[in-house]
Chains A and B, each alone.
Chain A
Amino acid sequence: MKLQKASRYALFAVLHLASEPEKQFSTAEIADSYGVSIHHLAKVMRTLVRCGLIESVRGVGGGYRFSGNVRRTTLWDVIHEFESLESDIDTPETLHDKAEIVVTGLDAVMNEIDGLNRATLDSITLKTLLRYGLENLDRAR
């Protein structure tokens, strides 16, 4: 499984805002904090607003703030707005009989893997991920 850039940027933004939910930050501030493209992040921010994970605040000092529940919102809630994460065996449209047996078996295995991936991502809340990150960073240091 490889996360697309949009998912990664979305997690940066959502976690940044969720870690200080009472504050608001501009796209430029978030892009600068993580060293990512402001242009690409701006597109991601619009999607996050549309799906209700963050909200835009107008006026002087405006920006974005987190609008979910940090103890309920999971990694899956963020990622699935940007990609499906479903495995793709890349099979041709017509298959020989023997190939169909193998591909059908592989489909079942991939479905099992996809189910585990989804359950794992849907079990980790933003709050838990922030804690994992800090703990692992402490251990690494």
Chain B
Amino acid sequence: MSLPLAPQKASALTKHNPAIRVQAAEAADIEAVVALDAAITGTEKAANWNDVYARFADTNQRLQRYFLVAKSGRDELVGFVVGEIRAWEFGSPPCGWILALGVTPDLREQGIGTLLFETLCAQMKNDGATTIRTMVLGTDKTNLSFFRGEGLAAGPYIELERRLD
């Protein structure tokens, strides 16, 4: 099932690659998602992605969780995005979180990541989110510059952590 795009997003898409479409992930897509993620990160995480699919895929829409994939005209998987709307964590109103986003390395800078991002934002906005948020490793230049390019900037929350050993 293809997801509806706002008219201006559709025109932005055709400027880059009209054959790319974004749709809800299906079970048959997971093998390709695992392979793409492994190609990007260098670590194969099949069990993790099967678990993500079980928790975030289409059947869990009422939980405001999203797992979308981008497909080429030849039906090849060329990108994915995972997110969810969370509310009232340390006072934060309903906010869309992007948990993962990946695009086939050879096909970057063609608007695929932007199409996935904008489709997810449109769905989250429609479902009540007023802000989009993500967390990226400080040295991950590819993802940091992508999200900056989409207009994200440092927000009012600061990530804090400590080791538990």
Interface positions of A (Cβ within 8 A of B): 71-72, 74, 115-116, 118-120, 122-125, 127-128, 131
Given contacts A71-B109, A120-B154, are A125 and B148 in contact (CB under 8 A)? Answer: yes
Majority secondary structure of chain A interface residues (helix, strand, loop or mixed): helix
Q: Write out the residue numbers on chain B whose beta carbons fall within 8 Å of the beta carbon of A116.
A: 138
Which of B109, B144, B145, B149 has the most chain A CB atoms inside 10 A of its CB?
A: B145
Q: Cα distance A128–B145 when bound, in Å?
A: 8
Interface of B is mostly: helix
Given contacts A115-B138, A119-B138, contact A125 B145 (CB under 8 A): yes
Whole-angstrom CA separation of A74 from B143 in the bound complex: 13
Query: How far does the alpha carbon of A125 sit from the alpha carbon of B138 in the complex, in Å?
Result: 15
* Residue among B138, B141, B148, B154 making CB contact with A128, cutoff 8 Å: B148
Q: How far is the CA of A30 from the CA of B36 in the complex (A)?
A: 44
Question: Could you say which residues of chain B place their CB within 8 Å of the CB of A74?
Answer: 141, 145
Interface contact A122-B144, CB-CB below 8 Å: yes
B139 at the A/B interface (Cβ < 8 Å)?
yes
- Chain A residues with CB under 8 Å of B148's CB are 123-125, 128
**Bound-complex Cα distance A29 to B4 (A):** 48
Nearest A residue to B149 via CB reads A128
Whether A122 pairs with B141 at a CB distance below 8 angstroms is: yes
- Which residue of chain B has the shortest Cβ distance to A73 in the bound complex? B145
Contact A119 B149 (CB under 8 A): no
Residues of A within 8 A of B144 (CB): 119, 122-123
Enumerate chain B residues within 8 angstroms of A131, measured Cβ to Cβ.
149
CB-defined A-B contacts under 8 Å, sample of 6: A71-B145, A119-B139, A123-B145, A123-B148, A124-B145, A128-B149
Contacts of A123 on B, CB cut-off 8 Å? 141, 144-145, 147-148
Alpha-carbon gap, A122 to B141, bound state (A): 7
Instruction: Specify the chain B residue showing the minimal Cβ separation from A124.
Output: B148
Residues in B neighbouring A72, C-beta threshold 8 A: 145
Q: CB-nearest residue of chain A relative to B147?
A: A123
Q: Mark B123-165, 1 if CB is under 8 A from A, else 0.
A: 0000000000000001101001101110000100000000000
* Nearest CB of chain A from residue B99's CB, rounded to whole Å: 19
> What A residues does B109 contact at CB under 8 A?
71
Tell me, in angstroms, the Cα distance from A128 to B144 when the chains sit together.
Answer: 11
Q: List the 3 shortest-distance A-B pairs measured between CB atoms, nearest first.
A: A123-B144, A119-B138, A123-B148
CB distance from A138 to the nearest CB of B (A): 14
Bound together, the chains give a CA A71 to CA B154 distance in angstroms of: 20
Instruction: Given A71-B109, A120-B154, check contact A127 B141 (CB 8 Å).
Output: no
Q: Most chain-B CB neighbours within 10 Å: which of A71, A120, A128, A131?
A: A128
